Chains A and B, each alone.
Chain A
Amino acid sequence: MNNLFVYCEIEDGIIADVSLELLTKGRSLANQLKCQLEAIVAGYKLDDIEKQVLPYGVDKLHVFDAEGLYPYTSLPHTSVLVNLFKEEKPQICLMGATVIGRDLGPRVSSALTSGLTADCTALEIGDHEEKKEGKVYKDLLYQIRPAFGGNIVATIVNPEHRPQMATVREGVMKKQILSADYKGKVIRHEVGKYVADADYVVKVIERHIEKSKTNIKGAPIVVAGGYGVGSKDNFKLLFDLAKVLNGEVGASRAAVDAGFADHDRQIGQTGVTVRPKLYIACGISGQIQHIAGMQESSMIISINNDPDAPINTIADYVINGTVEEVVPKMIKYYKQNSK
């Protein structure tokens, strides 16, 4: 009872990375809270699924295996969580800030009247005092996220309502197996007790999943562009530089919104989090949402003609100039000196 739950997403029989990252984070939070870590998987043909989940230190895995549960649709998965949570009364529930998590989380939180915080960049445990009522709440989940266009960071708590729910983007937390033979309990639930036939109202007619063509998450070098790059044409310079350096091209949200780069290249709170060896920020001012997604890079170079750009404060090198001017020079001198 009152444990920490992680909803695990599944695609093609494989648990999503973001879920494994949350299990890793969930394990450490559960240790701090001295409670157990429990996981939920809902899908179809989940015979050996525990092998993927238990090694992350999961004490109890709840499996819901039925044909209608894969591919995901909103109502059956909502019923699984809502009815299970009514029995188990978790104190915390974490899920990925993915399309599924952001479809499911709000629905579950509404049904249970519990609070949900989207796209957290950090999760901590701490106390909270409601000064007006003079009440102190022990060991709450601090749900920390940038807010209001990234000008501030807000710490959100849910003092009264349970579970405390939060979603987190892929790559924000690190994934790490606790022990390959971690002994956890597996419970295979009878799905019909949790999901009504009437829940299966949405039919998936067609489905195309493509393996992502870009792999900025795993790239050792990322050349990222912001609004300051100026145009889609100028972005080609970034691709040229990334190509000679064997890196990938990323983009800030402003650049994606302006149509300079595709959405799957977006780095930051609402995109991908990266930790490359070298991050070259081209014409990126450095709003907190962006910095949240790249600040753990080993080395940061900022190319910007605004010496006061916020990103410069976290850069190792600042090149004071425009992207058009500096990037071709970098390519030229790399070619000249690398042989």
Chain B
Amino acid sequence: MSLKIIVLAKQVPDTRNVGKDAMKADGTINRAALPAIFNPEDLNALEQALRLKDAHPGSTVTILTMGPGRAAEIIREGLYRGADNGYLLTDRAFAGADTLATSYALATAIRKIKDYDVIIGGRQAIDGDTAQVGPQVAEKLGLTQITYAEEIEKVENGRITVKRHIDGGIETVEGPLPIVLTVNGSAAPCRPRNAKYVQKYKHAKTVTEKQQGNLDYTDLYDTRDYLNLAEWSVTDVNGDTAQCGLSGSPTKVKAIQNIVFQAKESKTISASDREVEDLIVELLANHTIG
């Protein structure tokens, strides 16, 4: 049986190894210092989707992302690795969304895509670490969910079998399609870009990108429809603006504080034999160790 698979992917600032220049002097975040990347666990999810497609010929993999215009990069990255098409959900009305408003927006887009068997995304995004969007999308669509997935074992007779992580162990569960899955970072890494697909899709663009970019390849977009990346606004997906963005977010940020550590009076020593030995002797004497 061929499957319609939707991959939920997010472009995120790379918060994993932030340098000292990540914060500006006034205490705000220096976004320019953080490169925008494909959320790592969403890549694990893409790999699971592509494996399903390999195992079930005729299946399609669709990337769905929400973000500013440049998030179209995520769709191209997915296409380079074997996805078939993608949708960028972009609108000022979506800005400032918490996880619930994000899930609402994604669910409206998924309803518009209409045809789906498996909706799959990373367990969580590294800029928020909440792990909430997957289950909330499932709830909004009235579907069941399997979170913390490690591997999809099989799809058979309208049911999917998934190995997943639980606290202190592993379990294998089986659920009905259509279903929402979220995938762990410990799952198989995503396959690299395929040179053939890079050639095919490197000029794929959204309407906005076409308007901004140079027009050397204009006629390509008329003859090769797969280069036209769909861009949807809140009206395109029949979204209720009251449930989107800041106004659709029950959580509000009350305060943001810079980190101020309760600085202690610390003693700095060198790595010389003498000073390390003195410290060890002191720790032994006051029974911290030994």
A residues near B (Cβ < 8 Å) are 11, 71, 73-75, 78, 98-100, 102-107, 109-111, 113-119, 128, 130, 142-143, 146-161, 201-212, 221, 227, 245, 253-254, 257, 263, 269-270, 277-278, 287-288, 291, 295, 298-302, 307-308, 310, 312-322, 325-326, 329-330, 333-334, 336-338
Contact = CB atoms under 8 A, between A and B. Distances in A.
Contacts of B173: 73, 202-205
Given A154-B253, A204-B173, A329-B276, A115 B98 contact: yes
B161 to A, nearest CB: 7
A194 to B, nearest CB: 17
Nearest to B276: A329
Contacts of B34: 149
Contact of B139 (A107, A150, A298, A326): A107
10 contacts: A100-B167, A105-B135, A109-B132, A110-B135, A118-B130, A152-B256, A159-B252, A203-B174, A270-B129, A313-B261
The range of chain B's interface size is 35 or more
A132 to B, nearest CB: 11
Given A148-B13, A210-B169, 9 more contacts: A109-B250, A157-B254, A158-B250, A203-B173, A278-B289, A318-B269, A319-B269, A321-B271, A338-B289
B141 to A, nearest CB: 10
Contacts of B257: 152-155
Contacts of A318: 266-269
Interface string B250-290: 11111111110111101111110101110111011000111
B55 interface: no
A221 B290 CA distance: 10
A337 B277 contact: yes
A313 B126 CA distance: 26
Nearest to B271: A321
A313 B259 CA distance: 12
A150 B258 CA distance: 9
A contacts with B: majority SS? mixed
B255 A154 contact: yes
Contact of B103 (A105, A110, A278, A319): A110
Contacts of B252: 128, 130, 156-159
B146 to A, nearest CB: 7
B80 interface: no
A112 B166 CA distance: 25
Given A288-B259, A330-B276, A115 B249 contact: yes
B15 interface: yes
A254 B16 contact: yes
A310 B267 CA distance: 15
A336 to B, nearest CB: 8
Contact of A113 (B100, B133, B263, B268): B100
A71 B166 CA distance: 11
A313 B263 contact: yes
B113 interface: no
B85 interface: no
A319 B280 contact: no
Nearest to B148: A99
A300 B279 CA distance: 13
A317 B267 contact: yes
A201 B159 CA distance: 10
A143 B98 CA distance: 14
A337 B280 contact: yes
Contacts of B23: 151
A62 to B, nearest CB: 22
Contact of A149 (B22, B131, B250, B276): B22
A337 B279 CA distance: 11
Given A110-B140, A115-B251, A318-B266, A202 B280 contact: no
